[in-house]
């Protein structure tokens, strides 16, 4: 065996040279890998003893793509294209032996091999779009030649991988291997020794014909994905590349791909999305947990409260095959909750994403009960009743005597003091916050709230458990509203001020929508319901929201709130809302005026950044990027802008401080006082993170 580099080995078996890549954890195409492949191919081509080449990977996967950490370091030799070119042009057959995930540059490497063999659970994809990029190693030109332009367009715009069975059907791979991959690849390669006319994807274009015959195809795709991809550059750039594959000769198509790739790579969206890729993975790590911290087993879960939240939370467990006991006080409420769960599953089944048997199996896993006592054998119990400290404390007091000694007791509170809840139990080390976001069966974010006394094992268990139920966990500390809602309060407060000062609610919403949020603050309030925390008996009409509720305008559910809604829930701005803001402004002596879109944007976003800085300086979040993960997954912050803290870095922290001071002077309010951490970092020319 020869070690070509510290990442690539070279051996010869029965006339077949085997290049074995070993670059843990995912065999990314780092410099040493590219160098090793280049040298290995050259060596095999000049060695008369070698008749074919196999490219295979050690570890858990085939090459999962370019090394993303290298993008910001500039081009390092050998250039990826040169390596691919030498493989494509090789005079001896090259076989890619694939297991795990052949993604991005990994699949592009395989597409330059003359043959591809793979194990049955291998997956293949070009997920560059998720990094704000497009496949820059010829993938947009070769994949459509392998699987057709239609399938290739779907794969590059969604980033979703396909499995081996589909890959075989489409002609992306030559065989699916049963048994030992290396032995099968060696036998396959040996069989190809002496083949003179090697199959090269660049030479094939019969699978492009159907797209050539249907000139409207790409515009149809654009239309179909436009809602989902609003604001993103990369999906459109990926489509343009496949169009080039269909309409241009291969080498011209490659040049188009290279040009568009460089445009994306040097732009802010890709920088933000690459940053976010690592932010998400960082968030799962807890800095101060001893490495040997044990986890508690979780095999059965209890949920208290069968309302919208509780039902949604229970669905998460059933979705991964975990039995759940769902407890309510009254039979009627329990029946209603279970019916909503069933209806949700049936809706998913109607869309073809679940079979009728799966609907039944999941519903069966959720067992309703009217007795808290039935939670006695649960490993994790999540309380999801309404936000009232006394009610929650009562539940935790009772749980303390019902739950097993080693059970984890969690509250789904979105803002209350977890320490006060934990304080009523004799086991505060077993109490934690698990703040799900609505709809709880859909939203990916889970704020894992660490109380003063929460045990390390409980934190570790919940961080892993979150991933088991396919959530993105972010560890946060106790404060009013934790990370997400605490920051949101600031934005809501300013949006309300702006409306008093003369900006119409729908204009404020539009500015935030155009920034990339799925909706603005007033649309969000209408969706959530304006009557949360409001009661007819005690209402004093002290705010615009109170007055809207007094008028029976509770938001979308009553077809009226800040907007009027038609039967299809299409909103039009409600004049009554603007009039009420004007009335309150006059009463409070606030002069109404024209407010620019820039001021609206600044005044909604800067307080979020400032609050994020306070959260960091208080140690409520572990790192700035965790705040961004909360915002992208929980509140619809556009990922192509990275999150509030990354966005602040792109503005420059000095600019952020200057603007905060400017609005402080303009409004004469302490609200705008920059956080100490922000001042410090801006003073040092620093950044968050």
Among 135, 555, 571, 642, binds ligand 3HC (CB under 6 A): 135
Residue (7 or 362) nearer to ligand 3HC, CB: 7
For ligand 3HC, the closer CB: 133 or 472: 133
Q: For residues 25 and 179, which CB has a smaller minimum distance to ligand 3HC in the complex?
A: 25
Task: Pick the stretch among 136-144, 204-212, 440-448, 551-559 that binds ligand 3HC (CB under 6 A).
Answer: 136-144
Closer by beta carbon to ligand 3HC, 106 or else 310: 106
Catalytic residue among 42, 58, 108, 447: 108
> Is 128 one of the annotated active-site residues of the chain?
yes
**Three-state DSSP state, 43:** helix
Listed residue (54, 52, 105, 61) closest to 83, CA to CA: 105
Max distance between CA atoms of the chain, in angstroms, equals 93
Least distance to ligand 3HC, CB of residue 168, Å = 21
Per CB under 6 A, which of residues 97..116 are in contact with ligand 3HC? 101, 103-105, 108
Shortest Å distance, C-beta 160 to ligand 3HC: 11
Task: Let me know: does 331 contact 351? Beta carbons within 8 Å.
Answer: no
Distance in Å, CB of 278 to ligand 3HC, minimum: 6
> Of these, 117, 131, 421, 469, which contacts ligand 3HC (CB under 6 A)?
131
Taking CB under 6 A as the binding criterion, the range among 25-33, 384-392, 531-539, 580-588 that sits at the site for ligand 3HC is 25-33
CA–CA distance, 148 with 110 (Å, rounded to integer): 17
Between 156 and 306, CB nearer to ligand 3HC: 156
Among 23-31, 346-354, 455-463, 606-614, which window interacts with ligand 3HC (CB under 6 A)?
23-31
Q: Which is nearer to ligand 3HC, 238 or 454 (CB)?
A: 238
Q: Which listed residue (25, 533, 589, 685) binds ligand 3HC by CB under 6 A?
A: 25
Residues touching ligand 3HC, count (CB under 6 A): 24
The smaller minimum CB distance to ligand 3HC, of residues 137 and 484, is found at 137
Nearer to ligand 3HC, 170 or 234 (CB): 234
Which residue from 13, 76, 210, 278 is in contact with ligand 3HC, where contact means CB under 6 A?
278
The nearest distance, CB 66 to ligand 3HC, in angstroms, is 3
CA 57 to centroid of chain Cα atoms = 28
- CA–CA distance from 624 to each of 98, 119, 654, 688 (Å)? 37, 40, 17, 6
Contact residues for 170 (Cβ-Cβ < 8 A; gap 6+): 146, 147, 148, 151, 162
Task: Let me know the angle formed at the C-alpha of 162 by 264 and 253, rounded to the nearest 5 degrees.
Answer: 40
* 3-state secondary structure string across 266-296: CCHHHHHHHHHHHHHHHHCCCCCCCCCCCCC
Structure-block tokens of residue 389: 């400290």
x-marked contacts with ligand 3HC along 60-99 as a string, rule CB under 6 A = ----xxxxxx------------------------------
382, β-bridge pairs: 303, 410
The DSSP code for 132 is T
User: In angstroms, rounded to a whole number, what is the distance separating the alpha carbons of residues 260 and 128?
Assistant: 13
The window from 20-28, 189-197, 350-358, 549-557 that contacts ligand 3HC (CB under 6 A) reads: 20-28
Nearer to ligand 3HC, 137 or 433 (CB): 137
Kindly tell me which residue out of 36, 51, 132, 136 binds ligand 3HC, with binding defined by CB under 6 A. 136
Q: Find the part of the chain contacting ligand 3HC (CB under 6 A) among 15-23, 41-49, 134-142, 329-337.
A: 134-142
Which of 239, 68, 65, 263 minimizes the C-alpha distance to 157? 239
Burial 580-612 (b: 16+ CB within 10 A, else e): bbbebbeeeeeeeeebeeebbebbbbbbbbbbb
Q: How far apart are CA 128 and CA 108, in angstroms?
A: 11
What is the smallest separation between the CB atom of 615 and ligand 3HC, expressed in angstroms?
Answer: 23
Q: Which two tokens stand for residue 163?
A: 């499995």
Helices of type H across 284-388: 308-319, 331-350, 356-365
* Contact of 158 with 224, CB cutoff 8 Å: no
Candidate residues 16, 17, 26, 146; the one interacting with ligand 3HC per rule CB under 6 A: 26
E strands present in 22-168:
52-57, 94-98, 101-103, 115-119, 123-125, 162-163
Q: Please, how many CA atoms are within 13 Å of residue 516, restricted to the half-sphere of its CB? A: 19
How would you classify the pairing of strands 408-411 and 431-436? parallel
Among 127, 428, 484, 607, binds ligand 3HC (CB under 6 A): 127
Q: Where does residue 300 rank: exposed (0-12), middle (13-18), buried (19+ CB within 10 A)?
A: middle
Handedness of CA 430, 431, 437, 439 (dihedral sign): positive
Residue 52 as a binder of ligand 3HC (CB under 6 A): the answer is no
Identify the active-site residue in 42, 58, 128, 360: 128
DSSP 401: H
The distance of closest approach from Cβ of residue 623 to ligand 3HC in the complex, given in angstroms and rounded to an integer, is 13
Least distance from ligand 3HC to the Cβ atom of residue 159, Å: 8
512 contacts 525 by C-beta, under 8 angstroms: no
- At residue 133, φ and ψ (nearest 5 deg) are -125, -175
Pick from 228, 259, 281, 364: which binds ligand 3HC (CB under 6 A)? 281
Q: Which of 88, 128, 599, 602 binds ligand 3HC (CB under 6 A)?
A: 128
Write out the H or E segment, with its range, that includes residue 176: strand 175-177
- 3-state SS, residue 559: coil
Rank residues 258 and 651 by Cβ distance to ligand 3HC and give the closer one: 258
Whether 448 and 289 have beta carbons less than 8 Å apart is answered as no
Q: Is 108 a catalytic residue?
A: yes
Q: Which is nearer to ligand 3HC, 106 or 561 (CB)?
A: 106
Instruction: Identify the residue among 28, 152, 242, 595 touching ligand 3HC (CB under 6 A).
Output: 28
| Near ligand 3HC by CB under 6 A: residue from 93, 137, 337, 643 | 137
CB of 188 to ligand 3HC, least distance (A): 25
- Strand-pair category, 431-436 with 123-125: unpaired
Please give the positions annotated as active site. Answer: 108, 128
Binding site for ligand 3HC (CB under 6 A): 25-26, 28, 64-69, 101, 103-105, 108, 127-128, 131, 133, 135-137, 139, 278, 281
């Amino acid at each position: 065996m020869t070690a070509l580099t510290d990442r690539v080995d070279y051996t010869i078996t029965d006339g077949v040279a085997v290049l074995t890549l070993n670059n843990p954890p995912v065999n990314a195409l780092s410099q040493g890998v590219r160098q090793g492949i280049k040298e290995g191919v050259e060596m095999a081509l000049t060695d008369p003893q070698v008749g074919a080449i196999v490219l295979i990977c050690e570890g858990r996967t085939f090459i999962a793509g370019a090394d993303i950490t290298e993008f910001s370091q500039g081009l390092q030799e050998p250039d990826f294209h040169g390596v691919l070119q030498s493989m494509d042009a090789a005079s001896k057959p090259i076989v890619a032996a694939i297991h795990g995930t052949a993604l991005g540059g990994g699949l592009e490497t395989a597409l330059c091999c003359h043959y591809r063999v793979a194990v049955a659970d291998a997956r293949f994809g070009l997920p560059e779009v998720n990094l704000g990029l497009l496949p820059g190693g010829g993938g947009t030109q070769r994949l459509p030649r392998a699987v057709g332009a239609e399938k290739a367009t779907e794969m590059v715009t969604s980033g979703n991988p396909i499995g081996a069975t589909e890959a075989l059907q489409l002609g992306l791979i030559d065989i699916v291997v049963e048994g030992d991959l290396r032995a099968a690849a060696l036998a396959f390669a040996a069989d190809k020794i002496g083949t003179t006319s090697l199959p090269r994807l660049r030479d094939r274009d019969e699978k492009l014909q159907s797209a050539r015959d249907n000139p409207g195809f790409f515009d149809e795709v654009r239309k179909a994905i436009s809602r989902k991809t609003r604001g993103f550059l990369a999906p459109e750039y990926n489509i343009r590349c496949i169009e080039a594959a269909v309409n241009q000769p291969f080498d011209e198509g490659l040049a188009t791909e290279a040009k568009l790739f460089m445009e994306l790579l040097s732009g802010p969206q890709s920088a933000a999305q690459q940053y976010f890729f690592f932010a998400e993975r960082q968030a799962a790590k807890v800095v101060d947990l001893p490495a040997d911290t044990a986890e508690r087993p979780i095999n059965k879960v209890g949920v208290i409260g069968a309302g919208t939240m509780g039902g949604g939370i229970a669905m998460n467990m059933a979705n991964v095959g975990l039995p759940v006991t769902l407890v309510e006080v009254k039979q009627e409420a329990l029946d209603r909750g279970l019916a909503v769960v069933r209806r949700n599953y049936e809706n998913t089944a109607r869309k073809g994403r679940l079979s009728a048997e799966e609907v039944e199996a999941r519903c069966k896993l959720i067992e309703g009960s009217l007795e808290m006592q039935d939670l006695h054998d649960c490993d994790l119990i999540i309380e999801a009743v309404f936000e009232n400290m006394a009610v929650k404390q009562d539940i935790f007091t009772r749980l303390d005597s019902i739950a097993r000694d080693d059970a984890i007791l969690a509250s789904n509170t979105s803002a209350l003091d977890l320490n006060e809840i934990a304080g009523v139990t004799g086991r505060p080390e077993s109490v934690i916050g698990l703040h799900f976001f609505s709809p709880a069966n859909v939203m990916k974010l889970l704020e894992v709230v660490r109380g003063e006394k929460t045990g390390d094992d409980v934190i570790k268990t919940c961080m892993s458990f979150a991933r088991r139920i396919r959530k993105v966990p972010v560890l946060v500390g106790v404060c009013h509203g934790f990370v997400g809602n605490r920051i949101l309060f600031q934005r809501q407060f300013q949006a309300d001020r702006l409306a008093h000062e003369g900006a119409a609610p729908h204009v404020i919403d539009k500015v935030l929508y155009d920034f990339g949020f799925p909706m603005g603050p007033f649309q969000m309030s209408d969706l959530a319901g304006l009557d949360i925390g409001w009661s007819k008996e005690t209402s004093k009409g002290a705010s615009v929201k109170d007055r809207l509720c007094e008028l029976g305008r509770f938001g979308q559910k009553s077809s009226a709130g800040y907007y009027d809604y038609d039967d299809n829930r299409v909103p039009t701005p409600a004049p009554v809302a603007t009039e009420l803001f004007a009335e309150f402004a006059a009463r409070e002596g606030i002069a109404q005026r024209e407010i620019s879109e820039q001021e609206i944007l600044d005044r909604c976003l800067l307080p979020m950044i400032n609050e994020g800085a306070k959260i960091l300086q208080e140690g409520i979040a572990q790192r700035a990027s965790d705040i961004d993960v909360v915002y992208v997954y929980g509140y619809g912050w556009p990922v192509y802008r990275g999150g509030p803290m990354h966005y602040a870095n792109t503005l420059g922290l000095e600019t952020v401080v200057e603007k905060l001071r400017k609005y402080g002077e303009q409004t004469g309010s302490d609200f705008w006082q920059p956080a100490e951490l922000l001042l410090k970092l801006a003073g040092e020319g620093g950044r968050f993170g």
